[in-house]
Amino acid sequence: MSAVFAINLLQSYFTELIFDEAYYWHYAQKMAWGYFDHPPMVAFLIRLSSYFFDGELGVRFMSCLLSVGTLVLLWLMIDNPKKRDYVPHFFILTFSMTLLNAYGFFTLPDTPLLFFTALFLWIYKKFIANATVLSAIFLGIVMAALMYSKYHAVLVIFFVLLSNLALLKNKYAWLAVIIALLCYIPHFLWLYENDFVSIKYHLFERPNGAYDFNKYTLGFFVNLVAIFGFTFPWIYKALYKTKSSSLFTKALLYLTYGVILFFFISSFNRRVQTQWIIVISIPLAIIVFNYMLENTNTRKWIYRMGIINCVVLLFLRIGLIYEPLFPIFYETHGNKQWTEEIRAEAGDIPIVFENSYRNAPMYAFYSGNPTYSLNNIYYRRNQYSIDSSEYQVQHKKIMYVSKSAKSGDASFTRMNGTVYHGKFIENFESFRKLRCFLTEEEPLSLDLKKVINFKVFNPYGTDIPLEKIKFGLAYLNDHKQVKDVLSVDAIPTNENILTLKSNDTTNFTFTLPKPNMKNPGYFRIGISENGLNYGLNGENIKLK
């Protein structure tokens, strides 16, 4: 365990951040009970890490601790007395699991998800052996910690419950549920106060594409192989051969098969990302190691193939630090370089990145200067849409950095070949928090003559002159992809209105412009301020 911890610490120290880590670091700069994309556990871990170290290790230290804790818990859940004779086999098995290995040092929502899944199963094992008030309290707290890690955690809890429906009659199980719900109240309140923004995004707003067997369903099966590498045939053989010999083993099997089945069905609707199924690594580590202890041939082959996995993974981990060794350009390469190039041109003024919740926090992390992601109608909402970052750049001289611009005051080229142009703006002003709401019943028909009513809420502390804003409308296809953006002549219902009053609502009317695309599935209202691209000010409205 000490060796694994030391390797992960060194990796954390010498490896530049990946973009998602920088984004979650941005979360941690202002602690809250929730964030746009995820619950707050990942931000909490980063904040804790920052108390011990600076730099990259100040983002990843707690992940190094949790990864060792995950291995300890897995070891404790294996009861077979032979296990001490095969300690190297245990480490080869777990270290060779690709994403379990990667999340040993990267700080992502899946890092605490893996740890708390292992802790949940360990406590559950004790709970079904001897349910007490104390074990119920611990179980409830850990269930809440799971849900604070990632919303996918609901699958872990659900499939373990499904494996033992007798829990529905167990008073201690209900006590655990009550404790979990009480612990989760702060996040429920955050969701309510923020108009359930996370739920809306994940369930209703995310763009998708038309079903593609190769990208979706076949890609799902490729992911099932990728998370175990060369050991995958023997991993799934052990799963297939293992029977429900106890309530705990049954829970492991239900959890594994349940997650696989859930995302297999999901693959007919959207592309399943590899990390979404990573949680099966926890029950499978226990199932497979127990099977290895009783089956010589499987033990031999997993050990052999696991060593190959480990060698490949160690080589790639070195490549994360030393770019020439990595087979492709990766996002841990060159971030200090491109951020320094921008800083050399811009100095210490704030940087506003167009449509990049990835570049904005990465630049802020390595430069120490304020940043903001100005999201427009071609992009998606994110944490910068709901936090106070916009206020840090208002009425200041900034550099506006975009990869869609054709020219600027300065140009920057990333190591992956992407060219960005930056231009100076002396007095930057944006109103991305303006919100548009339709007062019509949905869905609407594509009637180009019908007058549609909507209202605009101004949450800012000052009035906004109407001369500073323009309205636009995006038509989206059935998969919520923007295909057409047109200007809209929105008229105040009261002709005497010249401003959007602070913390007040103003009513407007408009007619739908004729789309250039055929059969749009949705439309969305946007507002352009001071000549900027239209923002994400309205919801996706269904057209029938």
* pLDDT-based confidence at residue 439 (cuts at 50, 70, 90): confident
pLDDT tens profile 479-506 = 999 999 999 999 999 888 999 999 999 9
Nearest to 292 by CA among 305, 306, 302, 282: 302
Q: How confident is the model at residue 209 (pLDDT cuts 50, 70, 90)?
A: confident
Q: How far apart are CA 96 and CA 152, in angstroms?
A: 24
N residues, the chain: 544
Q: Which residue has the tokens 């101004």?
A: 458
In the sheet that holds 504-511, the strands lie side by side as 435-438, 451-458, 504-511, 491-492
Label residue 544 by pLDDT band (50, 70, 90): confident
How far are the Cα atoms of 2, 139, 171, 361, 366 from residue 370, in angstroms, in the given order?
Answer: 38, 41, 52, 9, 11
- CB-based contacts of 330, cutoff 8 Å, min separation 6: 319, 320, 323
Q: Is the confidence at residue 212, as pLDDT, over 90?
A: no
Distances (CA, A) of 110 to 152, 302, 490: 9, 25, 45
Which residues sit opposite 538 in a β-bridge? 436
CATH number of 435-542: 2.60.40
Neighbours of 450 (CB within 10 A): 11
pLDDT digits (tens, 9 = 90+) for 258-315: 999 999 999 998 889 999 999 999 999 999 999 999 999 999 999 999 999 999 999 9
Separation between Cα atoms, residue 497 and residue 507, nearest integer Å? 10
What is the CB neighbour count within 10 angstroms for residue 161?
16
Average pLDDT for 336-359: 96
- Lookup: tokens for 393: 């750049």
- The tokens describing 305, both together, are 């193939």
DSSP 350-394: -EEEET-TTHHHHHHHHH---EEEE-BTTS---HHHHSSGGGGTT
Read off the tokens for 69: 């804790």
pLDDT tens by residue, 64-120: 999 999 999 999 999 999 999 999 999 999 999 999 999 999 999 999 999 999 999
- Domain limits, the chain: 2-324, 335-425, 435-542
Assigned token pair, 269: 């609707």
Can you spell out the DSSP letters for 207-246? ------TTTTHHHHHHHHHHTTGGGHHHHHHHHHH----S
Neighbours of 179 (CB within 10 A): 19
Whose CA is closest to 408, among 425, 395, 392? 425
Helix, strand, coil shares of the chain, percent, nearest 5, are 50, 15, 35
Structure tokens at 401: 């950095």
Whether 477 contacts 521, CB under 8 Å? yes
**Cis previous bond, 324, omega within 30:** no
pLDDT recorded at residue 72: 97
Q: Which of 390, 362, 363 is nearest to 375 (CA)?
A: 390
Q: What is the pLDDT of residues 9-68, one digit of tens each?
A: 999 999 999 999 999 999 999 999 999 999 999 999 999 999 999 999 999 999 999 999
Helix (H) or strand (E) holding 129: helix 110-129
Provide the 3-class DSSP secondary structure of residue 310: helix
Helix (H, G, I), strand (E, B) or coil at 444: strand
Give dist(CA 229, CA 309) in Å, integer.
6
| Cα(67)–Cα(114) distance, integer angstroms | 8
Given a contact cutoff of 8 angstroms between Cβ atoms, the answer to whether 380 and 205 are in contact is yes
- Cβ proximity of 455 and 504 under 8 Å: no
3 state DSSP class of 529: strand
Write the burial class of residue 210 (CB in 10 Å: 0-12 exposed, 13-18 middle, 19+ buried).
exposed
Sequence-distant (≥ 6) Cβ neighbours of residue 112 within 8 angstroms: 41, 42, 45, 66, 145, 148, 149, 150
